[in-house]
Amino acid sequence: MMFCPNCKSMLKSIGGKLKCPRCDFEKDVSDKSQLQKTRQRVEKEIIIVDEDNQMSTLPTTEIKCPECGNKTAEWWLRQLRSADESEVRFFRCTKCKFTWREYD
């Protein structure tokens, strides 16, 4: 897409020229292939992520896993009780995937 250098409006293709609908700026199109309409839709490649190989985006902390003794776990917070009570902190071991919780 091209924009008008004067008023920043989007230029429209009219008669082989790019014209601004606001300020009457005109520009000849040197490459006519940019103005051709295509009827064929180009499909994008779809990537399916297998859940077993899913990359984690959770933050990690240094804490000992009660199951395997690993010292790194992912963590997140959830509000399980009423709003005036503190959140519950969950941990998931990065090695054995054991999940446990801590209350404040």
Quote the pLDDT of residue 78.
86
Fold (CATH) for 57-103: N-terminal domain of TfIIb (2.20.25)
d(CA 69, CA 63): 9
The tokens of 16 are what?
Answer: 């082989």
d(CA 59, CA 91): 10
96: pLDDT confidence band, cut at 50, 70 and 90? very high
C-alpha closest to that of 28 among 41, 40, 16 = 16
Please write the tens of the pLDDT for every residue from 81-90. Answer: 777 888 889 9
pTM comes to: 0.47
Q: 71 pLDDT exceeds 80?
A: yes
- Residue with token string 């924009």: 3
Please write the tens of the pLDDT for every residue from 1-57. Answer: 578 888 888 888 787 788 888 888 888 876 665 556 666 766 666 666 555 555 678
Residue 37 φ/ψ, nearest 5 degrees: -90, 140
